[in-house]
């Protein structure tokens, strides 16, 4: 099974994939690390984001998506762009989407020793940790 963790930051969907087989967890170092929504008010840009996401999911045989949930209000609330990106991800026709809270990620990392793969970029870390919660 392949799980894709996604963290939304501004107009970027940051991606990280893990592969699970017989209780082994392997980080998959994919060529694409993020998908950018270039213009949130342009229909063609939204469609391009959707196409790139679905192509990525198909290409990497993603069974499940762990989407890091954003705050809806307060200082760390997501902006309008992330709401649109989130909706496009939720409506994908390829993989099941599960929301993962920052609190659940924090709790998981406190209870479990997590080895961060060397080839994982620092900006992908939260997406990677999100994917681990769906194991």
Check residue 76 and give its pLDDT: 62
Residue position matching structure tokens 């929504």 = 37
Domains in the chain: boundaries: 2-132
What is the Cα–Cα distance from 57 to 135, expressed in whole angstroms? 18
Look at residues 37, 81, 31, 38 and name the one whose alpha carbon lies nearest to residue 56. 31
Mean pLDDT per 10-residue interval, the chain, length 135 residues: 97 98 94 97 98 98 96 71 95 97 97 96 98 97
How many beta carbons lie within 10 A of that of residue 58, not counting itself?
12
How many beta carbons lie within 10 A of that of residue 39, not counting itself?
13
Class of domain 2-132: alpha beta
């Amino acid at each position: 099974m392949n799980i894709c963790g996604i963290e939304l930051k501004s107009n970027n969907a940051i991606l990280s994939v893990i592969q699970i087989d017989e209780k082994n967890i392997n980080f998959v170092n994919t060529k694409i690390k993020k998908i950018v929504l270039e213009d949130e008010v342009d229909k063609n840009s939204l469609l391009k984001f959707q196409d790139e996401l679905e192509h990525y999911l198909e290409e990497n045989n993603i069974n499940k998506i762990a989407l890091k949930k954003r705050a809806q209000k307060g200082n760390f609330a997501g902006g309008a762009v992330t709401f649109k990106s989130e909706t496009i991800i939720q409506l994908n026709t390829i993989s099941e989407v599960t929301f993962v809270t920052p609190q659940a990620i924090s709790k998981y990392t406190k209870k479990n020793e997590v080895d961060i793969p060397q080839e994982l970029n620092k900006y992908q870390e939260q997406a990677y940790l999100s994917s681990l919660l769906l194991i």
